[in-house]
Amino acid sequence: MHKIDFKKAHPELYRPSAKDFVLIDVPVMQFVTLDGVGNPNIVPAYAQSIEWLFSVSYAMKFSAKESLKQDYVVPPLEGLWWADDPADFVARRKERWRWTMMIMAPDFLTRAMFMAAVEKTEKKLGARPEGLRMEKYAEGLCLQILHVGSYDDEGPTLARLHDEVMRLRGFTFAGKHHEIYLSDPRKTAPAKLKTVLRQPVRTL
């Protein structure tokens, strides 16, 4: 049985250059998602969201392998991040952050498979979090770069994107800041963490 690894199948989405921002047109994709607010290092809802997203995603993976004879590597965790004042994000004032955490769900996964995976996860984790869903996300034109290092060291790169790169290339904001976590922070030193930083844009 062939096993799809989406990071390898779509390097343009998951393996951008670490040298400079590149422009990409991101296709519409399906995700399992949960929303929250506050410092992800402190608020219990953040850790709960991650646990639920991975549990549901793995339940769907095993269901697809059994019923569809289609195996795949569960894609990495992703996050949309924003704040009412964008400066709060660049300045890392995390208590003011809002977020949507998500894991890509391949298009061959159905809503029935999602609901079955949620019911299975409820037996293990208890009542499902409010707002848990599977939905399409249309991102479109984006600038992205590979950040190597601590999450808290992203500030200068984001400031350069917002204040220099977007202005010089004639772009403005068209969506929420997007991060894709290619490394497991439990197993990787902060200085070696690899994170895709992505910003939806539109021409001025």
Share of the chain above pLDDT 70, in %: 100
Rounded average pLDDT over 18-31: 97
Rounded average pLDDT over 14-26: 96
List the beta strands (DSSP E) in 76-182. Answer: 77-82, 98-104, 133-137, 140-148, 171-173, 177-181
Please report which residue ranges of 76-173 form alpha helices under DSSP H: 86-90, 111-125, 155-160, 166-169
Q: Is the pLDDT of residue 6 over 90?
A: yes
Please check whether residue 78 is in contact with residue 144, taking contact to mean a CB–CB distance below 8 angstroms: no
Rounded average pLDDT over 124-149: 97
Q: How far apart are CA 187 and CA 191, in angstroms?
A: 12
Rounded average pLDDT over 91-114: 94
Q: How far is CA 115 from CA 52, 54, 108, 121, 191, in A?
A: 13, 14, 14, 10, 38
Q: How far apart are CA 151 and CA 181, in angstroms?
A: 10
Other beta carbons less than 10 A from residue 174's beta carbon: 14
Confidence of residue 123 (pLDDT cuts 50, 70, 90): very high
What is the domain-level CATH number for residue 141? 3.20.80.10
Radius of gyration (Cα) for the chain, nearest Å? 17
pLDDT of residue 84: 82
Give how many domains the chain has, as a whole number: 1
Confidence of residue 7 (pLDDT cuts 50, 70, 90): very high
Q: What is the pTM of this model?
A: 0.95
- Residue whose C-alpha is closest to residue 1's, from 43, 53, 62: 62
Q: Is the pLDDT of residue 196 over 80?
A: yes
Q: How many residues does the chain have?
A: 204
- Domain holding 44, by residue range, is 3-203
pLDDT of residue 14: 96
Other beta carbons less than 10 A from residue 17's beta carbon: 10
Per residue in 100-111, pLDDT (tens digit) is 999 999 999 999
Please check whether residue 97 is in contact with residue 46, taking contact to mean a CB–CB distance below 8 angstroms: no
Q: What is the mean pLDDT of the chain?
A: 95
Please check whether residue 146 is in contact with residue 195, taking contact to mean a CB–CB distance below 8 angstroms: yes
Rounded average pLDDT over 107-134: 97
Confidence of residue 92 (pLDDT cuts 50, 70, 90): confident
CB burial of 109-148 (b: ≥16 within 10 Å; e: otherwise) equals bbeebbebbbebbeeeeeeebeebebeebebebbbbbbbe
Q: How far apart are CA 121 and CA 93, in angstroms?
A: 33
pLDDT of residue 70: 96
Confidence of residue 190 (pLDDT cuts 50, 70, 90): very high
Per residue in 39-69, pLDDT (tens digit) is 999 999 999 999 999 999 999 999 999 999 9
